[in-house]
């Protein structure tokens, strides 16, 4: 019996709370449902900054909702509708700005890469020129080393049976 009494007291409290705040709660529920519905239904036109356009069924439901709502709820719903339209317009504008900045950044990146390639090409050309100049300057020395290496490899091929070279590459002093 005590348990039944608690339930009935709880029901009474909830009923009392609900009756006092029922219109407010209804306003918030309607506002939430509207915002949720608008978020799902918004058209491609909103991306291009044209505000919210509802399809035929959604527009009929919206009009019915506005006709059934009291003045305060209707005003708050219309303000919410306008603010959502503004937000969607701003979102479209920001998306456009982001695309423009992305394109500008991509173009700048390509320009910088081209400049780096040109700078690297100039440095590589200078290094290649220095290499060619150094090779030309030391060409006689390189030729001498090459001929000595050829003579040494030919001499190694003429080894005698005793395991030595036919001549002594290191003269005695």
Classify residue 156: in a domain, yes or no: no
Q: How confident is the model at residue 129 (pLDDT cuts 50, 70, 90)?
A: very high
pLDDT at residue 44 in the model? 44
pLDDT at residue number 96: 94
The listed range with the strongest mean pLDDT (57-61, 126-130, 153-157) is 126-130
Distance CA 169, CA 173 (A): 13
Q: What is the pTM of this model?
A: 0.40
Q: What's the rounded Cα separation, in Å, for the pair 97 and 104?
A: 10
Residues 51-61: pLDDT tens digits? 577 888 888 88
* The predicted structure's pLDDT at residue 16: 56
The CA distance from 157 to 40, in Å, is 89
**For residue 82, what pLDDT is reported?**
87
How is 66-130 classified by DSSP, letter by letter? Answer: HHHS-HHHHHHHHHHHHHHHHHHHHHHHHHHHHHHHHHHHHHHHHHHHHHHHHHHHHHHHHHHHH
Tens digits of residue pLDDT in 53-107: 788 888 888 888 888 888 888 888 888 888 888 888 899 999 999 999 999 999 9
Least confident of 16-25, 48-57, 109-118: 16-25
In a domain, 159, yes or no: no
Range of the domain at 84: 2-132
104 domain-assigned: yes
Residue 83 lies in a domain: yes
Residue 108 covered by a domain: yes
The structural domain count of the chain equals 1
154 inside domain: no
In a domain, 158, yes or no: no
pLDDT at residue 161, rounded to an integer = 46
Could you tell me which residue, 108 or 172, shows the higher pLDDT? 108
169 lies in some domain = no
pLDDT of residue 47: 45
């Amino acid at each position: 019996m005590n348990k039944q009494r608690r339930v009935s007291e709880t029901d009474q409290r909830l009923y009392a709370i609900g009756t006092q705040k029922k219109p407010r709660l209804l306003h918030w529920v309607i506002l939430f449902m509207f915002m949720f519905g608008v978020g799902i239904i918004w058209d491609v036109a909103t991306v291009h900054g044209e505000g919210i356009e509802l399809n035929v069924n959604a527009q009929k439901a919206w009009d019915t909702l506005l006709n059934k709502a009291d003045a305060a709820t209707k005003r708050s719903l219309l303000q919410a509708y306008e603010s959502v339209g503004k937000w969607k317009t701003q979102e479209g504008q920001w998306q456009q700005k982001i695309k423009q900045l992305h394109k500008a950044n991509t173009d700048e990146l390509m320009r910088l890469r081209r400049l780096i390639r040109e700078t690297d090409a100039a440095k590589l050309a200078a290094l290649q020129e220095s290499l060619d100049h150094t090779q030309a300057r030391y060409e006689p020395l390189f030729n001498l080393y090459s001929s000595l290496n050829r003579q040494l490899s030919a001499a190694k091929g003429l080894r005698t049976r005793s395991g030595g070279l036919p001549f002594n590459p290191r003269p005695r002093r």
